[in-house]
Amino acid sequence: MKRVTLEEVARVAGVSRATASRVVNGAGTVDEVLRHAVERAISSTGYLPNIAARSLVTRRADAIGLVLPDEHRMLGDPHLGSVVSGVTRVVRPRGIHLVLMMTGPGTREQALSDLRCGRLDGVILVHTDPADPVPGQLIRAGLPVVLAGRPWQPMPITYVDVNQSAGGALAGERLLSLGCRRIATITGPQDMPTGRDRLRGFLDVVPDAVVVHGDFTRQAGMAAAHELIARCPDVDGVFAASDLMATGAIPVLHRSGRKVPDDVAVVGFDDSSAALTCEPELTTVRQPIADMAEEMARQLLRQIADRTAPVTSVVFEPSLVVRSSG
């Protein structure tokens, strides 16, 4: 099974390599007759273009990177599949490869050098943290990059996010409409935009809520529920800023003799798979992850096509998924 080159296709079709190349790349400026001859030659020889040779001259890798944080934070992330699926939808039809880079601490620079040496045309950065220098370096180098989620500090970078505070408000309104009178929230980390925004939106709607701090993990949800019961025994509505925290809190509430949702309504955030496997099933705020991922890919492709494209931010609206817990 030897490799078929353009040279051979051209020979079979009786045209020059240049013409063969034009029809492979869909240049409109080829005579019908020759085009057909080349097309026949392509299928009869089973020709596939050598991507490396093409890249060498076009200076495009036709590959983008999806840079994820290290395993500790990502292993349990319920959204990875949806993100990949969304990005794939826009990238695949264009023949662009999705390169997954799961980075440990200090390894994110890998993406930078892949970009610099032309091995990647651009990257989508997920879950950066405030100390991460990569986004800044990327911007300074003028390399195409899109952030998943608003950056920690304001910076001129394209990002896609969900309206986190609107999500918090949705949760608050739900608990209010359920008739809850003593409402509490278990927050996400307050040094993350996500954590802060969800809380802010929630407090806009339920200003007198009891606030207990958490960090999005299940363990934090359990600890917070204990604290909540002690501080506020008559609590009848809880907004957990992540589904994971909600799944931690519910068993604690149950064990304290409180029924969910009869005694305490619980609303989560994420609509992760945990929302469905928990008992009762979780009412939760949904982010359209796959759609957001599609948009990130589109934004990145736009930047790659036009290096001077303006910095953009796209914010999606969350929705409430009503199930049994609240």
Partner DNA sequence: CTGAAAGCGCTTACAG
Tell me which residues touch DNA (CB under 7 A): 3, 5-7, 15-19, 21-22, 24-25, 28-31, 33-34, 47, 49-50, 53-54, 56-58
149 conformational bin, left if phi > 0, alpha if psi -120 to 50, beta if neither: left
Q: How far is CA 62 from CA 59, 95, 122, 134, in A?
A: 9, 7, 9, 21
Among 45, 110, 137, 163, binds a second copy (CB under 8 A): 110
Site for a second copy in 189-218 (CB under 8 A): 218
63 binds, among DNA, a second copy, none (CB under 5 to 8 A by kind): a second copy
Between 132 and 271, name the residue whose CB sits nearer to a second copy. 271
As a whole number of Å, the end-to-end CA separation of the chain is 62
Nearest residue to 204 (alpha-carbon basis) of 161, 239, 156: 239
Nearest residue to 64 (alpha-carbon basis) of 306, 294, 304, 289: 304
Site size for a second copy (CB under 8 A)? 57
Min CB(88)–DNA separation in Å: 23
Between 60 and 231, name the residue whose CB sits nearer to DNA. 60
Across the strands, what pairs with 213?
Answer: 187
CA 295, distance to chain mean position in Å, is: 10
**Residue 47 belongs to what H/E stretch?**
none
163's CB contacts (< 8 A; 6+ apart) are 315, 316, 317, 318
Min CB(10)–DNA separation in Å: 8
Q: How far is CA 144 from CA 64, 111, 139, 316, in A?
A: 10, 12, 8, 22
Min CB(16)–DNA separation in Å: 3
Min CB(277)–DNA separation in Å: 49
Between 46 and 179, name the residue whose CB sits nearer to DNA. 46
275's CB contacts (< 8 A; 6+ apart) are 243, 246, 268, 281, 282, 284, 321, 323
218 binds, among DNA, a second copy, none (CB under 5 to 8 A by kind): a second copy
Between 183 and 290, name the residue whose CB sits nearer to a second copy. 290
Min CB(53)–DNA separation in Å: 3
Site for a second copy in 37-96 (CB under 8 A): 48-53, 55-56, 61, 63, 66, 68, 71, 74-78, 80-82, 84-85, 88, 92
Between 162 and 275, name the residue whose CB sits nearer to a second copy. 275
Q: 């409409």: which residue's tokens?
A: 177
Among 24, 30, 34, 99, binds a second copy (CB under 8 A): 99
CA 39, distance to chain mean position in Å, is: 39
Between 53 and 315, name the residue whose CB sits nearer to DNA. 53
Q: 């200090």: which residue's tokens?
A: 106
Q: Is 99 within 8 Å of 40 (Cβ atoms)?
A: no
Binding residues for a second copy, rule: CB under 8 A, are 1, 3, 48-53, 55-56, 61, 63, 66, 68, 71, 74-78, 80-82, 84-85, 88, 92, 97-102, 107, 110, 113-114, 116-119, 141-142, 218, 244, 247, 250-251, 254, 273-274, 276-280, 290
